[in-house]
Structure 1
């Protein structure tokens, strides 16, 4: 039986270790990252020396043992390859107890000074977080009631769950991320909920939103968290990191989660559990205090059948969204036209607003996305002369 030595490190000097390995042109990858690119494993491991960090694999294996098969697959692939295994010392014992083909190696002692200790990527400007001490949940409730039409069940449960999360995040230091999973047909306004929360936190920057419909195959998944060493784009900032950095709000929207596969499930399982993730460049991104909104066209039965139970248990709030009723759709159109008039610097009186709404067949059209498209056209047709 193969046996492999595993060297271990303390978290405080991990960044320094990464820096030293990069100077030697040696990349560090994780098991989830390798899993995302398993079709290219042979080519990847045939490259020059690579460090494989087992820390995240051990953490994931505690709640989802599907990672174990992939780890064993790696073991057989790397025979006679120039690969070094490493792990955070906290998880070394768990690794040795669970996998007989690993043996304890040496501690990676790196000379490090206090001013060099960097455990994670710190943003230049603090994000606006929903758990900030100054946040007023009554104010948030009023904001959502004003800016979010319908979704009564969500608004009622969200504030209650958020109060619990706020306590455990701030006082107990136990729960890093507040996660919401929104089910329901397309056009029910699931993404609108995420956008409303973003606008409450910050209206000056773009929304950090990832649509998993764009990450349905192995080659495109690298755009989400970064390419493995040796591949095109491996030195570039990943799509996820770029969108988080470009937003000032501590909120992330993950659309069309029904397109996610097992590797993506494992990635978000780790993110929700730890509140941070490491990208392909070895940088650690801390999302403590973030709200992550997942949306999906799943029906509840499909959700239960497709999403693994260990991941489902990480969601703070699971809501099945339904179409707005007729009066709510009318109110939705009113809100849209008022927004357009402000941006176009056009003053609308009640008669003009009613006239605009009357041009939309909102009693028959339930899909909010289509209603917005119809509202754009109606607004332009009525006021196009003013735009010239």
Structure 2
């Protein structure tokens, strides 16, 4: 492999802020955050595309991880370098020798910058959004009095991180993310104490990297607040330098609760608007719906942030093939790239035992150990977008289930385990007409939907544009792969006739047939 063109910045602990201040136009991330986002090579380039431009990645903890993943790590870093524009790396000087031993061909000596080792510049505060903070407030809470942590633990709101792992011995540790999720949600844990783990990591620096990944994954499950005894705060700074940008000293559990409640929640309006715009650009037509969706997504972000709204629910009715299901896919793809959409299709269920199929059978029943489809898909996808397809085929018991879920944001499965869907978007789709919707859906459930829209076919002009773009894309791909070009003007009349259809899936299939028939004639003649 060739050497990287990126710069490697070497810093010592006291000068990390100096580095961030000098490169204040860059975002700083720990390599553990990237591994949390994607820990497989085939999907990495898609996950990071456009999300990490102008970035500095700290690879210190990857080096302390030992030599266990050397080949994988090397390929991972090269993929990052090849796919992220204006990317640089940094590391603590203490691991530089080990890094050069393990990866001697990564960086040219001229591209290694030592300006921030024994740097004498002023340490400036860097905006919290520029780092891979673990929680929304990017605060590490400290306590001088053990009684403060003990009081929170006895109240059931604090748990030690060491209590969330199954075992830690030898060269690794084990944990079950599904089990951790259920503990945090069922016990309503608010604080995770790092003290015992930090003490252990001082002796086992090779475990820092996987533990940091675990912390990111825990935060993606639940917005916990991390705390540590005050005597360990300098260790936290050294072990997790990019995780926390602010420290709050707390002397009692009461003060902690008061301080947390007073912290304002920050909503990034620009990010939400950008996501909503990207989603709407993918959906053809339905302009009134798209405008309303952008407004409701922003409103939900604020209401959810203050605990007033748990789930954003959208009901879409209309004929098949006009964009209802596609919209749900677009939402998941844009907000949770690389994660599978959570899809439940009631057309696949029988009328008997449908709720058991959804959330599992009671203990003792056949199949009770398998869980329900909704639970299994939530556990295997980090997407927080759920598509409920063919909702008109659901039963009254299912209607009651969703009535309670949309009200509380939580449901309890047949084993008595609570599942928290706070922050989820649930999109219901159905072929019902407006009349059928008002006749079939209970008024109580209707009142729980944040948005209800009836999709109609695209206007002729929009359909023509869709047909033309679909044909052009296919023609270009066929020419790219097989070297034969279709002259679109020769099939234009056939394409124009497709405007009579409303179903976009049917239109796309017909476009493919028309283009391919013409392509095949040309291909045979060559």
Which residue of structure 2 lines up, in the alignment, with residue 374 of structure 1?
Answer: 510
CA contact (8 A) 1:330 1:357 kept: no
List gaps (5 residues or longer) in structure 2.
1-153, 165-182, 187-215, 222-265
1:142 equivalenced with 2:207 (yes/no): no
Alignment TM-score, normalising by the size of structure 2: 0.46
Alignment partner of 1:126 is 2:220 = yes
Q: Find 2:313's aligned residue among 179, 188, 199.
A: 179
Q: Please say if 1:211 is aligned against 2:345.
A: yes
Deviation readout 1:104-131 (Å, 9 max, x if unpaired): xxxxx9x99944692427976837xxx9
Counterpart of 1:156 (choices 278, 291, 310) is 291
Q: Is 1:242 paired with 2:307?
A: no
What's the CA shift for 1:342?
8.6
Q: Is the alpha carbon distance of 1:237 and 1:341 closer, same or farther for their aligned partners in structure 2, counting shifts above 3 Å? A: farther
Superposed CA offset, 1:190-217 (max 9, x none): 1111112112113323221111112241
Go from structure 1 to structure 2 and tell me whether the alpha carbon gap of 1:381 and 1:277 turns closer, same or farther (over 3 Å shift): farther
Q: Note if contact 1:276-1:288 (Cα within 8 Å) is conserved in structure 2.
A: yes
Q: 1:145 to 1:169 in 2, by over 3 A?
A: closer
- What is the CA-CA distance between 1:282 and the residue it aligns to? 3.1
1:292-343: CA deviation from partner (whole Å, max 9, x where unpaired) = 1111112222212211111111111111110112221222334545666798
Tell me, in whole angstroms, the C-alpha distance in 1 between the residues paired with 2:472 and 2:310.
Answer: 37
- Post-superposition offset of 1:248: 2.9
- Asked if 1:303 corresponds to 2:437, the answer is yes
Please tell me the root mean square deviation across aligned C-alpha atoms, in Å: 3.7
Q: Tell which has more relative contact order, 1 or 2 (C-alpha 8 A, sep 6+).
A: 1
Change (3 A) 1:238 1:356: farther
1:214/1:220 contact within 8 Å kept: no
Does the aligned pair in 1 maintain the 2:277–2:294 contact within 8 Å?
A: no
Deviations 1:207-246 (A, max 9, x none): 2111111224113542211122222210113211222233
Instruction: Give the secondary-structure state (helix, strand or coil) at the position aligned to 2:370.
Output: coil
Normalising to structure 1: TM-score of the pair? Answer: 0.61
Structure 1 stretch 264-273 or stretch 295-304: which is displaced more? Answer: 295-304
| Paired residues of 1:180 and 1:317 also in contact (CA < 8 A) | yes
Q: How many residues are aligned here?
A: 275
Q: Is the contact made by 1:277 and 1:285 (CA closer than 8 Å) also made in structure 2?
A: yes
Question: Deviation per CA, 1:355-386, whole angstroms, max 9, x where unpaired?
Answer: 67654432211112212332344455455769
Q: Which moved more, 1:138-147 or 1:347-356?
A: 347-356
The question of 1:230 aligning with 2:364 is answered yes
Distance apart, 1:284 and its partner CA: 2.4
- Number of the residue aligned with 2:424: 290
Greater Rg over alpha carbons, structure:
2
For the residue of structure 1 that corresponds to 2:498, the secondary structure is coil
From 333, 345, 363, the counterpart of 1:199 = 333
Other structure's SS at 1:136 match: helix
| Pairing 1:362–2:456 present | no
Q: 1:363 to 1:277 in 2, by over 3 A?
A: same
SS at match of 2:185: coil
Gaps of 5+ in 1: 1-108
